Chains A and B, each alone.
Chain A
Amino acid sequence: MVNALYLIVAALTAAFLLGFLNPARRSAAYTITLLALTFMSCVSASWVWEFAVNNAAPVDIFTAGTEPPFAINLRMGLHEAALTLLVNLTGLLSALYLKDALFALGRRGMAVLLVAVMALCGIILTRDIFNLFVFFELAVISTAGLMLFSDDSRALAAGFKYLIVSQVLSVFFLIGIIFAYHATGTLNIDGMAEASLGMKTGGSIAFFMLFIAVVAELKPFPANGWALDIYESAHPAFAAIFSAATGAAAIYATDKLLLIGGAEWLPISTGIGIVTFLAANLLALPQTNDRRLLAYSSIAQTGLILAVLGQRDILGDSAPFIAGGLLFSHAIAKAGLYWLSGLIAGRELADWAILRSRPLLIFAFVTFIAMLSGLPPFPGFYAKWELVHMLAGEGRLALLAFILIGALIEAAYLFRWFGYIIKREQTDQTIACTPFQITPILAAVVGGWALGLVWGDLSASHFGQSNLLLALPLLFALSFLLLDWLPAWVKNTLAIAGMVAFFTLTYAEYDPLRLIFAIIFLIGGAIIFLASYDAHGRRIGFYPAAMLMYAGLTMLIRATDTFGFFAAWELLTLGSYFLILRGKRSEPHALSYVIFSLGGAFLILAGFALAAQGAPQFDLTSLSQLTQPLAPWVFLLLAIGFMTKTAAIGLHIWLPGAHSEAETDVSPMVSGILLKAGLFGLMVLLMSMGKQQLYGVELTHVLLWIGALSALLGNLMAIFEEDAKRLLAYSSIGQMGYALFGLALMNHLGWLMALMFVINHYIYKSMLFLSAGGVAKRTGTRDMYKMGGLITLMPLSFIATLIGIIAVSGVPPLSGFGGRWIFYNAILTTDYRLPMIIIFFAGPIAFLYLFRLIHTIFLGQLKDEHRKLKEAPFWIILPQMIFVALLMIFAMFPGLALRRVDTYLNQFFPEGGLSWAGNTITSSYGYWNPIAIMIIVCVIFGTLFAWLLFVNRRAQKVKQFNIVFSAERPFRPETTHYAWNFFAPYRKALGFLVQPFATRFWGTLTDLLHTTADLTRRLYDGNGQSYVFHLFAFIVVVYLMRIGV
């Protein structure tokens, strides 16, 4: 192995060598720089290999041949090797990226870069406190030097502000060192730790000064204005080093220092860390400058890692896994994002829309923000999972809550940014970049995915979780990234084939309940994909997103433990977010969807963590063994989490926009299929945990109310909609309310009804969304009052809609009636009167809006501009016709799907099952024979229809305007077809119920956050002296909190 000292030797030699070169020989100088950095990276990499694969023991390097405390020693262990690798690689890649700037500055600039990297390696390697100080000062000087690389003239002022702050810190550092030396007689960090510095006279003050000097390098709130300015104005390649490498080195220095301080200093570290994490994320919210936003995010991530370091007392051996996962995710992502920012000319977030001209860079961006948000399959995800579990296990719930809140805010602004990239106007110029700039970015992407694999492996071997990147559905979804150059129809065929094949291979593994969901997710998804054949071109980005969602859904029903379930939940959330975002005007709706979903996911995570009580692995079935007082809280967290997906009332505001603005074939996916994930979660929850009481309140009873209110209000909001797809979306809220109500009844029939709703809602909502989408595609509008009389032009769409609304409204003979029949039986068996009455009311309201789909779109008067319309495209009609057939079959033979489930449910609810004899289904209140009903209805309908044809055979055809009313002869279709604001009288009577209370509530909350952030960030007034003042304020507060008056 190469002695680690060569990391420092190589950099210094190269830097001196550069001094001897002829200044004009820039290429030679550049080559030397790159060679030195490559050599250093190789040394670190070989050490990483040695420790990680060969399990070598850490090596101490004694300078001057003497052991400490008489000489400085450096240490190379796994952590040091990994961190120096990060530093050296960041340096090397940034040097590539900086090629032009380095050529312009010449050999001196290169020497400063080498010294910077060397200093950071030194900070990581050294075990001597004074040596640490020297390397810190070297880092400061080289940082100030590298600031001059920037084209931004403001960088000068930023560098000076940094120097001022570092002068103050160096005073504290030196005084701390000399007093610590005085107390312990050594400068060696381990020696000081052994001598327990804190116990000596004046020792805690000495340590306090050391602590301040090092922690301030982590940019704690509020003493971080200088860092923000550096990040914003530095050359992006240097900002990458400053964020990834300097940050990592400072964190490791703090880690070493905490060895000396001992356990008493851990709480204050956590405090500083979490306050910084929350404050920086909050202050990032109103940012519009990309680099400053990244600066806030960097500071926040560093704060989070500091908080983790402060939890070392409970994290124990897992601390490196967690802190490392967070640190490497942050470092790679942040370096990548800063490198990306160098390719963008404008500094506004919306200027990044230019990335759209390079799908590869979009993929890079997605990788980076997923890493920062701690989404699977990246290291941050595994780290977050373990962290939250350990915190919950030790009862540190406040910290857990703060971490999740901060993470949610961070995800919110990152995904908002992504929305800008995908949706904001793109100026027509393309990105000009050299291979030297692209290589680092791609290397970061590769590094991120590779670390995802490593952390998955670590998590599998240490905690018994599964490595997500080895899960077949996810791999299949990711393979579409590589296939994205293929034409859409090829990818569509592959997707359908893959889903059907996966189902055929695995269908025997599911229990009857899961089988229903598996059929809907995999086979149902494949049917909806038929509509996607209508799309032309390559449809970049559609298939990876859609397949990610289906992979998540598949993994969700296959999950056996909470980890698998949660990972699947996050994957499907992410995939569906990308899908929803594809709609033309869906930017705000996709954002609110992803925020609600991630918020819900965090609640689920907290619930699972609380349930596991620190156990790294927890089976979903073990949820049933939870006891008071924990159980109801777990139930509450999980239920709210799942209800964000089913859009229960109050949490529903994302749904109408998200579902209606989505593309024609995406709406049925996210409505017909995705909503079922929430129901599946609720089923798993209720099945294992059953009834729970919190402060004497029966929680299922609360769910019952929520279900009833969702049904009533969802339906009510639907009747006032003019937009066909929004109407259908609101209707989904109502339908999910029914299903929730059925589940919350907690009896056999209630559950059967909920399952009936799961199947029915999938079929008819997919069908209706497709026909509404097909009509919208032809007419160019979704406003129903602008249509009319389309029945003759689009007969197949009409048939699908007609069948659909018959099914939804629950009248015989279609399957909706079956649902209603079971439903009425179910509520007769319970004694919750009031919610029952509410949900009864919701039924007729559904008629009001459903009828409009037929009346307004297909009946009435044809508009002039629509006279030449054609039927919707074949591929959009085909799945609708399949759904019509499915509805008919399911209506006549509900037993096909429900019989086995009915038997299966007996083990949970032995009472009140149905008896299935022949074609007749009997409950304790009566019987239902679907085939007989179908025959009777068909006979009556057929007779009436024949009679109508008979009496109408001589009727005269009336032309469109061959009528007179109110003594006027109408001449425009609009005047004969009343459809706009159709239910105005009802709005007058019931409008108070559909006031956007929930929207207003969430809107006020976000406004409040934004205003707070906007006011607080004025703290950073840009004056270097104010920043020093903040630093002193920080020092005083830490002193008062830790040492006291």
Chain B
Amino acid sequence: MIYMAMATGFLLILIGFYGALTNRNLLRMIVAFTLANTGVNIVIVAIGYMHGRTAPILDAAVTASAAAARIIDPVPQALVLTAIVIGLGVTALMLAYAYKLYERKGTLDIAQYTDLKW
């Protein structure tokens, strides 16, 4: 199960990179990167997962004293939450950029934005 999840995650990352490198459309590139980001999140969660344990929530079912033996590591999950937030911010910013770029030149083709070079 863990390996399945991890393989899926890496596959998503590769698909994302492939998509970002082969699509010249800005929006498609952004989508490709969100795919890759999702893949990263899956990988992180997969690594934090421990077989046969429960979610890291302390309540009546899992008391604080028993927690260390019964819950999975909460750190990767916390990381994923942060990474999702950051990914959201960056994606929003990229979309805003794409919009502005389109406003300027009327095209979403990244090969058209090569005024700066050499």
Partner of A177, one of B79, B110, B113: B79
Closest chain B CB from A349 CB (angstroms): 15
Partner of B101, one of A130, A140, A160, A170: A160
Chain B residues in 8 Å Cβ range of A130? 79, 82
User: Could you mark each residue 72-109 of chain B with 1 if its beta carbon is under 8 Å from any beta carbon of chain A, else 0?
Assistant: 00011001001100110110011001101100100000
The residue on A at minimum CB distance from B117 is A1022
Q: Is the CB of A1020 within 8 A of B117?
A: yes
User: Could you mark each residue 135-173 of chain A with 1 if its beta carbon is under 8 Å from any beta carbon of chain B, else 0?
Assistant: 001001100110000000110111111011011101100
The residue on B at minimum CB distance from A163 is B94
Q: Is the CB of A157 within 8 A of B115?
A: yes
Q: Is the CB of A1024 within 8 A of B110?
A: yes
Q: Is the CB of B117 within 8 A of A1021?
A: yes
Partner of A164, one of B20, B83, B104: B20
Q: Is the CB of B93 within 8 A of A233?
A: no
Q: Is the CB of B86 within 8 A of A1025?
A: no
The residue on B at minimum CB distance from A229 is B116
Tell me the complex Cα distance, A163–B20, Å: 12
Partner of B93, one of A134, A163, A179: A163
User: Could you mark each residue 168-202 of chain A with 1 if its beta carbon is under 8 Å from any beta carbon of chain B, else 0?
Assistant: 10110011011101100001000000000000000
Chain B residues in 8 Å Cβ range of A187? 75
Chain A residues in 8 Å Cβ range of B97? 144, 156, 159-160, 163
Q: Is the CB of B90 within 8 A of A167?
A: yes
Closest chain B CB from A569 CB (angstroms): 37
Chain B residues in 8 Å Cβ range of A167? 20, 33, 36-37, 90, 94
A79 at the interface (CB under 8 A from B): no
Chain B residues in 8 Å Cβ range of A179? 47
B3 at the interface (CB under 8 A from A): no
Closest chain B CB from A907 CB (angstroms): 61
Q: Is the CB of A154 within 8 A of B116?
A: yes
Show the binding face of A for B, using Cβ within 8 Å: 130, 134, 137, 140-141, 144-145, 153-154, 156-161, 163-164, 166-168, 170-171, 174-175, 177-179, 181-182, 187, 225, 228-229, 232-233, 292, 1017-1018, 1020-1025, 1028-1029, 1032
**Closest A-B pairs by Cβ, 4 of them:** A1022-B114, A1022-B117, A157-B113, A229-B116
The residue on A at minimum CB distance from B98 is A160
Chain B residues in 8 Å Cβ range of A170? 37, 86-87, 90
Closest chain A CB from B115 CB (angstroms): 5
Tell me the complex Cα distance, A157–B113, Å: 6
Chain A residues in 8 Å Cβ range of B82? 130, 134
Closest chain B CB from A618 CB (angstroms): 44
Main secondary structure of the interface of B (DSSP, over half): helix
The stretch from B21-29, B54-62, B63-71 touching chain A is B21-29
Tell me the complex Cα distance, A229–B43, Å: 33
Chain A residues in 8 Å Cβ range of B16? 171
Q: Is the CB of B101 within 8 A of A178?
A: no
Tell me the complex Cα distance, A137–B21, Å: 22
Tell me the complex Cα distance, A158–B86, Å: 21
Q: Is the CB of A1021 within 8 A of B114?
A: yes
Chain A residues in 8 Å Cβ range of B20? 164, 167-168, 1025, 1028
Show the binding face of B for A, using Cβ within 8 Å: 13, 16-17, 20-21, 24, 26, 29, 33, 36-37, 39-40, 43-44, 47-48, 75-76, 79, 82-83, 86-87, 89-90, 93-94, 97-98, 100-101, 104, 110-111, 113-118
The 27 listed contacts between A and B (C-beta, < 8 Å) are: A141-B89, A144-B97, A145-B93, A156-B100, A156-B113, A157-B101, A160-B98, A167-B20, A167-B33, A167-B37, A168-B17, A168-B20, A171-B13, A171-B37, A171-B40, A174-B83, A175-B40, A177-B79, A178-B44, A179-B47, A182-B47, A228-B116, A232-B116, A1023-B111, A1023-B113, A1025-B20, A1032-B17
Q: Is the CB of B90 within 8 A of A140?
A: yes
Q: Is the CB of B93 within 8 A of A1022?
A: no
Tell me the complex Cα distance, A345–B29, Å: 36
Q: Is the CB of B110 within 8 A of A1023?
A: yes
Partner of B24, one of A157, A174, A1025: A1025
Q: Is the CB of A160 within 8 A of B113?
A: yes
Closest chain A CB from B7 CB (angstroms): 14
Closest chain B CB from A228 CB (angstroms): 8
Q: Is the CB of A160 within 8 A of B104?
A: no
Which of B44, B114, B115, B116 counts the most A-chain CB atoms under 10 A from its CB?
Answer: B116
Extra pairs beyond A137-B86, A153-B104, A170-B90 (15, CB < 8 Å): A141-B93, A157-B101, A164-B33, A167-B90, A170-B86, A174-B83, A178-B43, A225-B117, A1021-B117, A1022-B118, A1023-B114, A1024-B113, A1025-B20, A1025-B21, A1025-B24
Tell me the complex Cα distance, A225–B20, Å: 17
Chain A residues in 8 Å Cβ range of B104? 153, 156
Tell me the complex Cα distance, A514–B16, Å: 72
The residue on A at minimum CB distance from B26 is A160
Q: Is the CB of B113 within 8 A of A1022?
A: yes
Q: Is the CB of B114 within 8 A of A166?
A: no
Chain B residues in 8 Å Cβ range of A144? 93, 97
The residue on A at minimum CB distance from B116 is A229
Q: Is the CB of B116 within 8 A of A233?
A: yes
Partner of A1022, one of B13, B43, B116: B116
The residue on A at minimum CB distance from B37 is A171
Chain B residues in 8 Å Cβ range of A157? 101, 113-116
Q: Is the CB of A1017 within 8 A of B118?
A: yes
Tell me the complex Cα distance, A437–B116, Å: 26
Closest chain A CB from B102 CB (angstroms): 10
Closest chain A CB from B68 CB (angstroms): 13
Closest chain A CB from B47 CB (angstroms): 5
Q: Is the CB of A181 within 8 A of B113?
A: no
Tell me the complex Cα distance, A233–B113, Å: 13
Q: Is the CB of A156 within 8 A of B101?
A: yes
Chain B residues in 8 Å Cβ range of A292? 118
Tell me the complex Cα distance, A656–B10, Å: 66
The residue on A at minimum CB distance from B94 is A163
Partner of B94, one of A160, A1017, A1032: A160
Tell me the complex Cα distance, A662–B115, Å: 42
Closest chain B CB from A23 CB (angstroms): 19
Closest chain A CB from B14 CB (angstroms): 10
Closest chain B CB from A287 CB (angstroms): 8
Tell me the complex Cα distance, A12–B75, Å: 25
Closest chain B CB from A213 CB (angstroms): 12
Q: Is the CB of B44 within 8 A of A174?
A: yes
Q: Is the CB of A1020 within 8 A of B118?
A: yes
Tell me the complex Cα distance, A572–B16, Å: 58
Closest chain B CB from A203 CB (angstroms): 14
Tell me the complex Cα distance, A976–B117, Å: 62
Closest chain A CB from B3 CB (angstroms): 14
The residue on A at minimum CB distance from B89 is A141
The residue on A at minimum CB distance from B17 is A168
Which of A140, A166, A174 counts the most B-chain CB atoms under 10 A from its CB?
Answer: A174
Partner of B90, one of A141, A1023, A1029: A141
Closest chain A CB from B23 CB (angstroms): 9
The residue on A at minimum CB distance from B114 is A1022
Which of A137, A158, A167, A1032 counts the most B-chain CB atoms under 10 A from its CB?
Answer: A167
The residue on B at minimum CB distance from A187 is B75
Tell me the complex Cα distance, A872–B43, Å: 86
Tell me the complex Cα distance, A140–B92, Å: 13
Chain B residues in 8 Å Cβ range of A164? 20, 29, 33
Chain A residues in 8 Å Cβ range of B86? 134, 137, 170
Closest chain A CB from B58 CB (angstroms): 15
Q: Is the CB of A178 within 8 A of B76?
A: yes
The residue on B at minimum CB distance from A160 is B97
Chain B residues in 8 Å Cβ range of A161? 113
The residue on A at minimum CB distance from B86 is A137
Tell me the complex Cα distance, A1021–B110, Å: 12
Q: Is the CB of A154 within 8 A of B115?
A: yes
Tell me the complex Cα distance, A1022–B75, Å: 40
Closest chain B CB from A1025 CB (angstroms): 6
Closest chain A CB from B24 CB (angstroms): 7
Chain B residues in 8 Å Cβ range of A153? 104
